[in-house]
């Protein structure tokens, strides 16, 4: 299956959880621009400082940098058989770049929208925690760990909360999503490459639909 899978959905829709499962079960690399930027902002460079300001306020990183990061990552050998994009593209310029990239690599592209109503998203985001060791994603409202604030598999690891997962920043992130990213859903729909899955159900039910959508020839 030589495919580029574009996971789409608002912040908190569950793209990261599903991308991790696709990686584990289909062996496709999980490319999350958000994860890459979070790692980059930890270094001690002027760029890191700039990224910290951007990410903490919930606006988008400029297209030029985002595109460069994705070009570099997808040119690695592990992407030869396809990959899962999580959080990219988010703007028309990024979507254009991805068309060129996909054509060059000879991979078809399928976009999957993990659809979750806006009123549920805020709790999904503010309740989100992840394990700093294995990356497992929890939610204090919907998928709590067995013991408060520690990973089920790594009891010595205190769960981490993203700096931008707060009630204030999520407003900007959702507004940015509505303005910049939602038009891309229509674009993939018009070009018959969009599959929609109901993201309000359990993780496994959502995964089953996604796997079906990306492995079938529908």
**Binding interface with ligand AMP (CB under 6 A):** 11, 33-34, 37, 54-55, 58, 60-61, 66, 87-88, 90, 94, 164, 173
Residue whose C-alpha is closest to residue 85's, from 16, 154, 149: 16
Examine the residue annotation and report whether 124 is marked as an active-site residue of this protein.
no
Catalytic: which of 90, 124, 129, 195?
A: 90
Pull the structure tokens for residue 91.
């703007």
Least Cβ distance, residue 110 to ligand AMP (angstroms):
18
Residue nearest to ligand AMP (CB): 34
Least Cβ distance, residue 85 to ligand AMP (angstroms):
9
Examine the residue annotation and report whether 80 is marked as an active-site residue of this protein.
no
**Dist CA 122 CA 185 (whole Å):** 21
Examine the residue annotation and report whether 15 is marked as an active-site residue of this protein.
yes
Least Cβ distance, residue 34 to ligand AMP (angstroms):
2
With beta carbons less than 8 A apart as the criterion, state whether 130 and 34 touch. Answer: no
Burial class of residue 180 in the structure, from the number of CB atoms within 10 Å of its CB (0-12 exposed, 13-18 middle, 19+ buried): middle
Helix (H, G, I), strand (E, B), or coil: what is residue 196? strand
Catalytic: which of 52, 123, 143, 162?
A: 162
CA-to-CA separations, 126 to 18, 51, 140, 163, 214, in angstroms, rounded: 19, 21, 9, 10, 30
Catalytic: which of 41, 73, 124, 173?
A: 173
**Dist CA 103 CA 85 (whole Å):** 16
Least Cβ distance, residue 25 to ligand AMP (angstroms):
21
Catalytic: which of 3, 20, 128, 129?
A: 128
| Cα 151–chain centre separation | 21
Least Cβ distance, residue 10 to ligand AMP (angstroms):
9
For residues 8 and 213, which CB has a smaller minimum distance to ligand AMP in the complex? 8
Pull the structure tokens for residue 135.
């990356």
For residues 73 and 173, which CB has a smaller minimum distance to ligand AMP in the complex? 173
93: part of which helix (H) or strand (E)? helix 92-105
187 DSSP 8-state letter:
H
What is the set of active-site residues?
A: 15, 90, 128, 162, 173
């Amino acid at each position: 299956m030589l495919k580029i899978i574009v996971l789409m959905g608002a912040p908190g829709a569950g793209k990261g959880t599903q991308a991790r499962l696709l990686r584990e079960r289909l062996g496709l690399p999980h490319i999350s621009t958000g994860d890459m930027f979070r790692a980059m902002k930890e270094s001690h460079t002027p760029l890191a400082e700039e990224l910290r300001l951007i990410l903490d306020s919930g606006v988008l990183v400029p297209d030029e940098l985002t595109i460069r990061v994705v070009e570099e990552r997808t040119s690695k050998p592990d992407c030869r058989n396809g990959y899962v994009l999580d959080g990219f593209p988010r703007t028309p310029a990024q979507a254009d770049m991805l068309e060129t990239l996909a054509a060059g690599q000879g991979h078809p592209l399928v976009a999957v929208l993990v659809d979750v109503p806006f009123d549920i998203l805020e709790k999904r985001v503010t309740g989100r925690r992840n394990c700093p060791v294995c990356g497992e994603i929890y939610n204090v409202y919907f998928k709590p760990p067995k013991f408060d604030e520690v990973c089920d598999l790594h009891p010595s690891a205190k769960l981490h909360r993203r700096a931008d997962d707060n009630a204030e920043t999520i407003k900007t992130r959702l507004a940015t999503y509505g303005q910049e990213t939602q038009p891309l859903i229509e674009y993939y729909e018009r070009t018959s490459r969009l599959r929609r899955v109901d993201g309000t159900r359990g993780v496994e039910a959502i995964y089953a639909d996604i796997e079906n959508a990306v492995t079938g020839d529908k």
